[in-house]
Amino acid sequence: MPTNTFAYNIGMYIDSHCHINFPELAARMPEILAKMAENKVTHALCVSVDLPEFPSVLALAEQYPHIYASVGVHPDYEDTPEPTVAQLVELADHPKIIAIGETGLDYYRLEGDLEWQRERFRTHIRASRETRKPLIIHTRSASADTIRIMREEGAGTDQGGVAGVMHCFTESLDVARRAIELNFYISISGIVTFKNAQALKAVVQALPLEALLIETDSPYLAPVPFRGKPNEPAYVRHVAEEVARLKDVPLSVVAERTAANFFSLFDVQK
Residues 199-258 that bind Zn ion (CB under 5 A): 217
Minimum CB distance to Zn ion smaller for 129 or for 167 = 167
Query: Residue type at 176?
Result: A
Taking CB under 5 A as the criterion, the residue among 43, 96, 124, 138 binding Zn ion is 138
Q: How far is the CB of 19 from Zn ion (least distance, A)?
A: 6
Return the SS3 of 149: helix
| Sole window of 29-37, 99-107, 245-253, 256-264 interacting with Zn ion (rule: CB under 5 A) | 99-107
The DSSP element (H or E) to which 71 belongs, if any, is: strand 67-71
Q: Count residues contacting Zn ion (CB under 5 A)?
A: 3
Q: Chain centroid to CA 50: how far?
A: 15
Burial readout 106-145 (b: 16 or more C-beta within 10 A, e: otherwise) = bbeeeeeebeebbebbbbbbbbbbebebbbbbbbbebbeb
* CA gap 135, 129 in Å, rounded: 9
Q: How far is the CB of 49 from Zn ion (least distance, A)?
A: 7
| Sole window of 8-16, 30-38, 132-140, 173-181 interacting with Zn ion (rule: CB under 5 A) | 132-140
User: Comparing C-alpha atoms, which of 222, 211, 267 is closest to residue 95?
Assistant: 267
Contact 147, 178 (CB under 8 A): yes
Q: How far is the CB of 235 from Zn ion (least distance, A)?
A: 15
Minimum CB distance to Zn ion smaller for 153 or for 217 = 217
User: Comparing C-alpha atoms, which of 51, 86, 45, 52 is closest to residue 67?
Assistant: 45
Minimum CB distance to Zn ion smaller for 171 or for 217 = 217
Q: How far is the CB of 168 from Zn ion (least distance, A)?
A: 5
| Sole window of 30-38, 95-103, 171-179, 203-211 interacting with Zn ion (rule: CB under 5 A) | 95-103
User: Comparing C-alpha atoms, which of 9, 38, 63, 15 is closest to residue 232?
Assistant: 15
Q: How far is the CB of 12 from Zn ion (least distance, A)?
A: 22
User: Is 124 a binder of Zn ion (CB under 5 A)?
Assistant: no
Residues 145-204 that bind Zn ion (CB under 5 A): none
User: Which residues of this chain interact with Zn ion, rule CB under 5 A?
Assistant: 102, 138, 217
